[in-house]
Amino acid sequence: MSDPVVDRLHAWLKDHEASLLADYQTLLRFPTVESEPVPNGPFGQANRDALTFVLEKAKGWSMATTDLEGFAGYAEFGTGERLVGIFGHLDVVPVGPGWKYPPFGAEIHDGYVYSRGTTDDKGPTIAAFYAARAVQAVVPDIAARIRMVFGCDEESGFKCIHRYVETEEAPTFGIAPDAGWPLYHAEKGIMNLQIDAPLVAGSVSLLELTGGQRHNIVIDQAKARVRVTAEGRRHVEERLAEAWDRNLTATWEGDELAITAVGKASHGAWPYGGDNAAIRILRFLMEVSPLDSQLKFSELFELMHSGGGGLGVAGSDEISADLTCNVGIVSTDGQNLTIHFNLRYPVTWKGDDIIAKIKATLAKGRNQLMLKDVTDSPPLYFPLNHPLVQTIVDVYEAETGERRAPGVMGGGTYARAVPNTVAIGTGWDGDGDAHQTNERLKVDHLYRMSQIYAHIIYRLATVP
């Protein structure tokens, strides 16, 4: 038997689908990649403009708004002690090449909206915003406060949500629409680290290796230059004839070999779903180099293993399965090679133990590897019988007819930074993956998300 309040929430959203889609497209057209700070906009003008857009929209709906110096902002309505928080983000990762349609055009083709941020996270955020508005319109006397939070730095370090948590009230129940259905009750720990090594010197000497944009994106393009000694050139040329990699080219420029490689981008939590161009280059150099250089390139190649074996931290637990390891950025400065890693580690593990194992592994290497600049975001875990978890599972079953178990993710959402909060689902099959080229969301899925979110918000506001 259907709930008449939920039926009215769905009806309100159905009547406002055109407005939801129009505002979605407007929001997508702000190119909210982090850029140079501006007044009241620590993450750049586009993020500032996007935040202004949603807060002005909230004011038009008679919601109270708060702007946290451009780090984040929120809109709120309702009364009561209970606070239901919804945490979405407006910023996006860089675009990269190869888009079929303009990456900030928000064009609709065959029922899908194409743009960076369609699925991560502007689509879910605007759907949740409209869901909150539906609750405000349909249940104006609701005995809880509903707060929609908009962050501007989720993809680049969580400075937005850390600023929010410093001064703002923790929710009684919180949701972050930025995961899989019905929710993720556990998020792996996330560790970013930098490892420096002297440039390989020998028969083949590394002069340059560059590629990548962020820790949490698989490198899809990379280039390198090496200098080859006269003694080593014959060996290299013989191996070049046998080297395998159709996505890599190598061209002689005097005694230097210029190398370019093309891979496939993927979210850093799923490195084996992409193809790392920098790793391709190191494998190639390992294959063609004489022994003195080969051993050093081999160590660097093995260091980047997607399971963490090269760092000495491969492993798993029963709740969240395997550790993953992504190389997101490589660069050289004339003296050193710098490698930026992004680890996603099991929820029962401790960051300090991982760091100790990495240091011990590096100490055994031949490349004088040095660990630097470690940051660690500990895991998140809610038991399956937690009322927040059970309520969302029940709502998803009521909306879809499917009883689906909560999941575990390697990605990191606002839920790990905000007390009493879990990440909930976004999109369905056919929608584009986060952080990838030609990201897209089906228009009908945008509408369906808004209905499910409204039901969840209403239940969390009224559950005993």
For 204, the enclosing helix (H) or strand (E) is strand 204-212
Q: What is the C-alpha end-to-end distance of the chain, expressed in Å?
A: 20
Average pLDDT, the chain: 96
The residue among 325, 358, 377 that closes a domain is 377
Do 394 and 362 lie in one domain? The reply is no
Omega of the bond leading into 196 within 30 degrees of 0 (cis): no
E strand segments, 229-311: 248-253, 256-262
Which of 199-208, 412-421, 438-447 comes out lowest in average pLDDT?
412-421
Position 110 scores a pLDDT of 97
Position 313 scores a pLDDT of 98
Q: Over 70: is that where the pLDDT of 1 sits?
A: no
Q: Over 70: is that where the pLDDT of 137 sits?
A: yes
What does the angle CA 373 – CA 379 – CA 381 come to, to the nearest 5 degrees? 170
For 340, the enclosing helix (H) or strand (E) is strand 336-345
Please tell me the distance from the alpha carbon of residue 347 to that of residue 450, in angstroms, as a whole number. 30
Do 287 and 401 lie in one domain? The reply is no
Do 221 and 287 lie in one domain? The reply is yes
Q: Tell me the Ramachandran region of residue 321: left when phi exceeds 0, alpha when psi lies from -120 to 50, beta otherwise.
A: left
CA dihedral 409, 190, 453, 73 (to 10 degrees): -170
Do 175 and 200 lie in one domain? The reply is no
Omega of the bond leading into 182 within 30 degrees of 0 (cis): yes
Do 323 and 238 lie in one domain? The reply is yes
- CATH (domain of 412): 3.40.630.10
Do 361 and 399 lie in one domain? The reply is no
The reply to whether 317 belongs to the active site is: no
- 267 confidence band (pLDDT: 50, 70, 90): confident
Which residues fall within 8 angstroms of residue 15, CB to CB, at 6 or more apart?
A: none
Do 9 and 81 lie in one domain? The reply is yes
Q: What is the mean pLDDT of residues 80-91?
A: 98
Do 79 and 90 lie in one domain? The reply is yes
Quote the domain boundaries for residue 46: 4-188+380-462
Task: Give the number of residues written for the chain.
Answer: 464
Do 305 and 415 lie in one domain? The reply is no
Please tell me the distance from the alpha carbon of residue 273 to that of residue 44, in angstroms, as a whole number. 31
- Give pLDDT tens digits for 189-237: 999 999 999 999 999 999 999 999 889 899 999 999 999 999 999 999 9
Q: Backbone phi, then psi, for 235, in 5-degree steps?
A: -60, -45
pTM: 0.76
The residue among 377, 407, 423 that closes a domain is 377
Of residues 244 and 71, more confidence is placed in 71
Do 364 and 407 lie in one domain? The reply is no
Q: Over 90: is that where the pLDDT of 244 sits?
A: no
C-beta contacts of 309-317 below 8 A and 24+ residues apart: 310/361, 311/341, 311/343, 311/357, 311/358, 311/361, 311/362, 312/357, 312/358, 312/360, 312/361, 313/343, 313/345, 313/354, 313/357, 313/358, 313/361, 315/346, 315/349, 316/346, 317/346, 317/347, 317/348, 317/349
The reply to whether 91 belongs to the active site is: yes
Q: Which one of 76, 91, 220, 322 is the catalytic residue?
A: 91
Q: Which one of 34, 76, 153, 154 is the catalytic residue?
A: 154
Do 238 and 363 lie in one domain? The reply is yes
Of residues 436 and 259, more confidence is placed in 259
User: How many structural domains does the chain have?
Assistant: 2
- Candidates 357, 356, 354, 335; CA nearest to 345 is 354
Residue with tokens 């955020």: 125
Please tell me the distance from the alpha carbon of residue 25 to that of residue 431, in angstroms, as a whole number. 16
